[in-house]
Amino acid sequence: MRWKLLRRRLTISAPRVAVRSAMPWPLRWAVVAIVLGFCGAISLWAFEFGKSIAGLDSEAKAELSQLRSEVSRLREERDKAQSILNTSGSLITAERSAQERMASQVRQLEAENRALRDDLGFFEKLMPAGGNEGIAIRGLQAEVLAGTQLKWQVLVIQPVKNAPEFRGKLQLTVAGTLDGKPWMMDLPDGSQDLRFRQYRRLEGMVDLPQQVVVKNVSAKVVEGTATRAVQSIKLGA
């Protein structure tokens, strides 16, 4: 009987035996995780300790501090350069405006200078000629523009100190030829009122007929029915 039991246990017909662990698998995994974490902590500590021994950590901190200082310096330089650029732009704009104002003033001064030269030549004729102390016509000028207009200018004076006010009229007559025939015309608006004490300058434009040839321009100052001064000039060849 004992032999049969022993043979049954030793042969393939023996009953199966299950071997079970005494520790549950969740607990076993927890133990493994704790061991791995402990090993990782030891490795990290060893790495940091090695860096501190080799002096790598202090060098990295010093280099980081230097880089930060360099970045701060570059930012300051950039801000200064931007400020200088903005100031330069404002100065250029102001300089251009000043140049434009100066150019405008120069043009204005040139125009005033031309006007003063004209006035100087005109007022030089204020000097009395031959001791004449009555009304006088000085500087009668006329010019045909483009064959269609006549530009005229005349100066009337009283070359007397503290002269009384003169009241009269200025008559302007233009003479020449039109289609080979004698031609003459007065100012379209008639005589011009003339009122002054020392001098009075008058000027204007007259439209001319087509194909007219102006040969003579005359100015006359009248007071009532009396003629006080006359002057004529010739134009053309």
* pLDDT at residue 217, rounded to an integer: 92
Helix, strand or coil for residue 130?
coil
* pLDDT at residue 190, rounded to an integer: 83
Q: Domain 130-234 classified CATH 1.10.10.10?
A: no
Cα–Cα distance between 60 and 48 in angstroms, integer?
13
Q: Please name the residues in contact with 121: beta carbons below 8 A apart, sequence gap of 6 or more.
A: 139
* pLDDT at residue 219, rounded to an integer: 92
* pLDDT at residue 49, rounded to an integer: 58
Q: Please name the residues in contact with 200: beta carbons below 8 A apart, sequence gap of 6 or more.
A: 155, 156, 157, 194
* pLDDT string in tens for the chain (237-residue length): 555 555 655 555 555 555 555 556 666 677 667 777 767 677 766 666 565 555 555 666 777 788 888 888 888 888 888 888 788 777 788 888 888 888 888 888 888 888 777 766 665 555 555 445 578 888 788 888 887 888 989 888 887 777 788 899 999 999 998 888 898 988 888 888 888 888 888 888 888 888 888 899 999 999 988 998 899 989 865
Q: Please name the residues in contact with 229: beta carbons below 8 A apart, sequence gap of 6 or more.
A: 134, 135, 136, 137, 156, 220, 221
This model's pTM is above 0.85: no
Domain assignments of the chain as residue spans, ordered by start: 130-234
